[in-house]
Amino acid sequence: MPPPGPAAQGTASSGPGPAGPGRPDADTPGPGPLGTGPQEPDSPVAADWRALGTQVWLLVTDPGQLAEGRRVLEADLDAVDRACSRFRPDSELMRLGAVAGQAGVNTAEVSPLLAEAIAVALRAARLTDGDVDPTVADAMSALGYDRDFALLPEAGPPVRLTVRAVPGWRQVRFDERSRLLTLPPGVHLDLGATAKAWAADRSAARLSRALGCGVLVGLGGDIAVAGPAPESGWRIRVQDTTGRPEDPPPGPAAVVAIQEGGLATSSTTARRWRRGGDVLHHILDPRTGLPAPVHWRTVSVAAATCVDANTASTAAIIRGPRALDWLSNLGLPARLVDGAGTVRTVGGWPAETR
C-alpha cells in the first residue's frame, strides 16, 4: 500500500452543525442526510438514491449545484455499471467473459473506462499480495452470489464448500497502454471489491471540478470527498449495521470527520446469506475461495483516496488478527471491531466528534 496522504489526517469536527452525514446502507456504512438543528454557513445539502446495487449519497457545499451534481453522478454510475457489472449480461465485462469462453479467444481490447477499473483492481491485488483478488468471480458464484444482492435469496439449499484457491491475479495479462486484456480460459473477473470505491473517487473529483464546490460521494461504505470541505470537515458516522441517521446505532459506532480523500468500511455483517446450515458473506479469501473467517466484523480505514481505503479495509478483513500490525506499519488510520464488539483503533484514527 502507498503511504497515507493528507486525507488520513482527518480530524474530529467541533462546533455547531448537523450530527450527520452518517447513514449506513444495507451493504456497509456510509454518509447520510444532514441532521436537524443549527447548521454551519457552508453546511452541505444532500440527495440519495440507489445505484450499483447500493445506496448512493451525494452532498455538495453549494445548494444550487445539487440537481446538476445528481444528473452528472447518475450518468457516471450508469456508465460504470454498463462497463463493470458482473450481474448485467449486457455489460462490457460480461461480454468479455462470453468471448473468452469461445475456443482460442481470450484477448480483447477493452474500453477506456473498463481499462481503468481493471488497472485499479490489479493494483489492489499487487499492493495486498493477492488478498484483494479480482479472479474470485467463479468462487463467488459457486457460493450462490451470482446476481444483484437485492435479488439473492436470503436462504437456500446447501452448497458444497470446497477449499480451492482462485486462479489468481497474476494470471491476468493487461497492457494499460493498448488496453489489451488477456484472460486464461475459464477465468472471469469480479471487480466488485474495488469498483465502487474507484467510482466514488472518480466522480467526486469530476463533480468538484465541474461544480466548483465541495463534494462528497458515498456508495455504500465507500466515501470520497473532493474540493473545499465544510468548516468542520465531512462528518461521517461509521457503523456496521443498517440504520437511519436519526436512529441510535444498534452497535458500536463513531462519528468522525475527514477533510479530503476517502474513508471506506468493509463488513462481514452485511451482504450475508444462508445456504443450508452455512452463513456466508461476500469477502472471500482468495487462498481458499471461501468467505474469510470472521475475526473482524467491521474495518474502517481513512486514506488519500477511497480506493486505497477500501483496499486496506478489505485486506484487513482477510488478514484477521494480523491486520492490526499491517495497518499500523502502513500508517493508515483505521477502526476495527471484532466479533464481540470490541473496538480497536490504529494509525491515528480521528477522535469521535459530536
Length of the chain: 354
Write down the architecture of domain 92-192 according to CATH. Orthogonal Bundle (1.10)
Residue 142: HSE in the Cβ half-sphere, 13 Å Cα cutoff:
17
What's the confidence (pLDDT) of residue 165?
Answer: 76
For 151-181, the pLDDT digits (tens) are: 556 766 766 666 577 889 999 999 999 999 9
The stretches in the chain having pLDDT less than 50 are: 3-41, 273
Q: What are the grid coordinates assigned to 105, written together?
A: 479467444
CB environment 171-207: b (16+ within 10 A), e (fewer): ebebeeeebebebeeebbbbbbbbbbbbbbbbbbbbb
pLDDT at residue 143 in the model: 67
Cα(260)–Cα(79) distance, integer angstroms: 25
Q: How many CB atoms lie within 10 A of CB 89?
A: 9
Rounded to whole angstroms, the Cα distance separating 16 from 343 reads 27
User: Cβ contacts of residue 178 below 8 Å, gap of 6+?
Assistant: 109
Residue whose entry in the numeric block shows the C-alpha cell 462470453 = 98
pLDDT of residue 7: 42
Beta bridge partners of 285: 290
Site of grid cell 445539502: 45
Q: What's the chain look like in SS3?
A: CCCCCHHHHCCCCCCCCCCCCCCCCCCCCCCCCCCCCCCCCCCCEEEEEEECCEEEEEEECCHHHHHHHHHHHHHHHHHHHHHHCCCCCCCHHHHHHHHHCCCCCCEEECCHHHHHHHHHHHHHHHHCCCCCCHHHHHHHHHCCCCCCHHHCCCEECCCCCCCCCCCCHHHCEEECCCCEEECCCCCCCCCHHHHHHHHHHHHHHHHHHHHCCCEEEEECCEEEEECCCCCCCEEEEEECCCCCCCCCCCCCEEEEEECCEEEEEEECCCCEEEECCEEEECCEECCCCEECCCCEEEEEEEECCHHHHHHHHHHHHHHHHHHHHHHHHHCCCEEEEECCCCEEEECCCCCCCC
What is the pTM (predicted TM-score) of this model?
Answer: 0.84
What sign results for the dihedral spanned by CA atoms 292, 283, 341, 11? positive
Q: How far is CA 64 from CA 70, 73, 74, in A?
A: 11, 15, 17
